[in-house]
Structure 1
Amino acid sequence: MNIKSLLLGSAAALVAVTGARAADAIVIAEPEPVEYVRVCDAYGAGFFYIPGTETCLKFDGYVRMQVNTNENGYSIGGIATDDEDFDGFEEGWQFNTRARLNVDARSDTEWGTLRGFLRIQADALTNADAAYGMDQAIVQLGGFYVGYTESAFAAPWGLPGISRFGIIPTDGGGVYAYQQRQQIGYTFSGGNGLFGSIVLEDDVATGEGYMPDVVGVLGISQGWGGVWGKVAYDESAEAWAGLIGMQYNIPNMAGSNIRLGAFYASDPNSYALNLPVSGGPAGAPGNNFVEWSVAGAYTHAFNAQWSATIGGQYFEAFDGDNAWLVQGAVVWVPVTNFEVRLEGTYAEEDFGPVTDDTWNGFLRFTRYF
């Protein structure tokens, strides 16, 4: 073998080995791009896109603990029964802790916004396990919605910057026929602040045939405040009820306002205001349906941390009996999303043979998120 042959053979062997090693080399895959959660600002603060979709999701709610006190026992709408042995008030007070979680999913479609809303709530009135479950759930497409939520007669949907129920903007809200119902409805709003809805509500299969109860809402909301009216027809009772309300925002006093309203019912029905009867079973609804009622309230915002509300309501029952209440609240917000609320009610009732007066109130600590 000559030198030339040796060199050519060595070069060929080197190429073969190098090629084999190149074929066997470990290739490290490029990392998949990370899809960070994106903020969705189409529906207000708190929404974000579910990764990989165009659906916006929001979680919010609160955790709160409340200490109730009551002169006579249990109360409905600020007017108490005469039962001093109601469970939880033997010591003169009652603790109530609540947790609420709202889940709101929305996306745009050619038919309008598609929405799914769920409210889960748990309450602990004693040291036993809390009662919990689905409290509300609705599906909405554009203005059309179906599901289980507050009756449109009580709900503040569309009202001018109002998140609380009733004419009196306290947490108790006076008396305003609060109830939750299965319902099918359509809501609309205009660029000039006009809003309204028409709603069919389940009357729990009472009455004739398949006819539901019907609620209509119409109002206007602008910078100065708003005016609204509601009419409800109870098919089972073949009677109707209505309310009108207004809010005036005081100029140069942000957060301060005056609210006035009136209720009327043609006959006792599901939408008529209903007061308890003194001396009746604790917590039982009364049989004093209200023919008419008037209410008014003033809210004053001292600054960003402190505000106070004072309001009153008068009731005239179908049988001529009457009642009235005064309700007030002081609210302190020391830091964002933390509220301390002190609220109380004094009421006097004249139902049948019994004339009674009572008071109740609570101190509440709430962390919103």
Structure 2
Amino acid sequence: MNLRLSLATVAALTSVNAAFAADAIVIAEPEPVEYVRVCDAFGAGFFYIPGTETCLKFDGYVRMQIGARGGSDYDAGVYDGDYVEGWRFTTRARLNVDTRSETEMGTLRGFMRIQADATSNADASYGMDQAMVQLGGFYVGYTDSAFGAPWALPGMVRFGILHTDDGGQYASQQRQQIGYAFNGANGLFGSITLENDENEGEGYMPDVVGVAGISQGWGGVWGKAAYDESAEEYAVLGAAQYNIPGFAGSSLRLGLFYASGVSMYALDMPVSGGGSSDEGTVEWSVAASYLHKINAQWSATVGGQYFEEFSGDNAYMVQAAVVWLPVTNFEVRAEGFYASEENLVGGEDDDTWSGFLRFTRYF
């Protein structure tokens, strides 16, 4: 009897102690953690901003360039009061921020580019290089002129005809703008853009640029037309790209420029430049370029452009480049440029040359 009573007492005490122990230990519920989700709706690199349906992407590059420049116009070692004959070092840092989300009116996009260039042994100041807002096909903001690099259209129609980084002469500039872009499933594309001319001419009238073309597996054909309201002059471009069968990444480009007079969209002569009068402004120009993709690491390109000035002078330029990609997202580029320009007044042709070796880390 005593044994049974002792066992019952021990069991009761054990239960009481266990209850007290359970009450003393409080285990908190884990808080929910929202991990970053990959957004594959807009291509590689996008992820969802936590708590939203907005996709975000950061990319850009850091590069360092060693360049040199010279020619017959270098007098006492100085060219245009800026370049000294010899080495020229430039380092650039660029950050792109791209946000996108789907709405009932199409994709809503916000894009900005922050960039700085160090051209001396001093810190460079960062600034806004581009900033754009787009809803569906409608866009507004500050970016490259649509005559040089139309916003939201295929890559082949952006920048110059030549495959080099410089791209040849193509009236490059950046402008405030409002526009609409169309990209069809069959490869047809086009845009119409109103560009700010800073109240020159009729104060409320902008400059106008139209682009149209087709892009398919074999290549593409496109045209651009621009009207400078203040100068009351226009410029046009017709171009084509042919992708070489059996050589993925290799292509041939041809292009023809024409300008009715001096305007923001006319080309400058490659040596004298200027473009503020008939001297230095190109009436028409033809360009051709070939890019050959040797393998996954190596490619090379060569191209040329011929110019006819309004005042009667003519000029030509050639550009060539070799690109090496030793590892993913790292590029080594060597590029060279030479231009010669007829000088009817001086009687001797003027020329200029330049080249650079560039190291770029993309991300």
TM-score > 0.5 by shorter chain: yes
| Aligned 8 A contact 1:167 1:296 in 2 | yes
> For residue 78 of structure 2, what is the aligned residue in structure 1?
85
CA deviations over 1:215-254 (Å, ceiling 9, x no partner): 0000000000000000001000011111011000000100
* Structure 2 counterparts to residues 320-335 of structure 1, below 5 A: 320-335=312-327
> For residue 225 of structure 2, what is the aligned residue in structure 1?
231
**Shift, 1:274, TM fit:** 1.6
> For residue 215 of structure 2, what is the aligned residue in structure 1?
221
Rounded Cα–Cα distance in structure 2 between residues aligned with 1:18 and 1:298? 86
1:188 is aligned, of 182, 185, 193, to 182
**Shift, 1:29, TM fit:** 2.0
Q: Does 1:68 align with 2:61?
A: no
Q: Does 1:336 align with 2:335?
A: no
* Structure 2 counterparts to residues 276-287 of structure 1, below 5 A: 278=272, 287=277
| Aligned 8 A contact 1:199 1:214 in 2 | yes
Distance 1:35 1:106, change over 3 A: same
**Shift, 1:159, TM fit:** 5.8
TM-score calculated relative to the size of structure 2? 0.89
Q: Does 1:40 align with 2:39?
A: yes
Rounded Cα–Cα distance in structure 1 between residues aligned with 2:168 and 2:74? 16
* Structure 2 counterparts to residues 1-369 of structure 1, below 5 A: 25=24, 27-72=26-71, 84-86=77-79, 89-90=83-84, 92-155=86-149, 157=151, 161-162=155-156, 165-275=159-269, 278=272, 287=277, 288-354=280-346, 355-369=349-363
Distance 1:170 1:94, change over 3 A: same
Rounded Cα–Cα distance in structure 2 between residues aligned with 1:47 and 1:198? 29
Secondary structure in structure 2 of the residue aligned to 1:205: coil
Distance 1:164 1:95, change over 3 A: farther
CA deviations over 1:83-119 (Å, ceiling 9, x no partner): 7325775461100000000000000000000000000
Secondary structure in structure 2 of the residue aligned to 1:310: strand
CA deviations over 1:165-188 (Å, ceiling 9, x no partner): 200010111100000000001001
CA deviations over 1:17-41 (Å, ceiling 9, x no partner): 9899589645332111211111100
TM-score calculated relative to the size of structure 1? 0.88
| Aligned 8 A contact 1:160 1:226 in 2 | no
Secondary structure in structure 2 of the residue aligned to 1:274: coil
Distance 1:139 1:151, change over 3 A: same
| Aligned 8 A contact 2:291 2:299 in 1 | yes
CA deviations over 1:289-322 (Å, ceiling 9, x no partner): 1110000011111111111110000111111111
Distance 1:240 1:349, change over 3 A: same
Rounded Cα–Cα distance in structure 1 between residues aligned with 2:360 and 2:185? 35
Q: Which structure's relative contact order is higher, taking Cα pairs within 8 Å and 6+ residues apart?
A: 1
CA deviations over 1:232-291 (Å, ceiling 9, x no partner): 01000011111011000000100111100000011110001023664x9xxx66641111
Letter paired with 2:170: Y
User: Does 156-165 or 239-248 show the bigger shift?
Assistant: 156-165
Equivalenced residue count is 350
CA deviations over 1:327-360 (Å, ceiling 9, x no partner): 1001111111111100001110124524212211
| Structure 2: gaps (5+ residues) | 1-8
| Aligned 8 A contact 1:277 1:351 in 2 | no
Secondary structure in structure 1 of the residue aligned to 2:166: coil
| Aligned 8 A contact 1:156 1:162 in 2 | no
Distance 1:149 1:363, change over 3 A: same
Once superposed, which parts of structure 1, at least 4 consecutive aligned residues long, lie more than 6 Å away? Answer: 17-20
| Aligned 8 A contact 1:40 1:49 in 2 | yes
Cα RMSD after superposing both structures: 2.7
| Structure 1: gaps (5+ residues) | 1-9, 74-79
| Aligned 8 A contact 2:169 2:270 in 1 | no
Q: Identity over the aligned pairs, expressed in percent?
A: 72
Distance 1:183 1:81, change over 3 A: farther
Rounded Cα–Cα distance in structure 2 between residues aligned with 1:169 and 1:222? 18
| Aligned 8 A contact 2:143 2:176 in 1 | yes
Letter paired with 1:155: A
Rounded Cα–Cα distance in structure 2 between residues aligned with 1:157 and 1:245? 17
Rounded Cα–Cα distance in structure 2 between residues aligned with 1:199 and 1:326? 31
Distance 1:320 1:81, change over 3 A: farther
| Aligned 8 A contact 1:159 1:226 in 2 | no
| Aligned 8 A contact 1:208 1:236 in 2 | yes
| Aligned 8 A contact 2:92 2:117 in 1 | yes
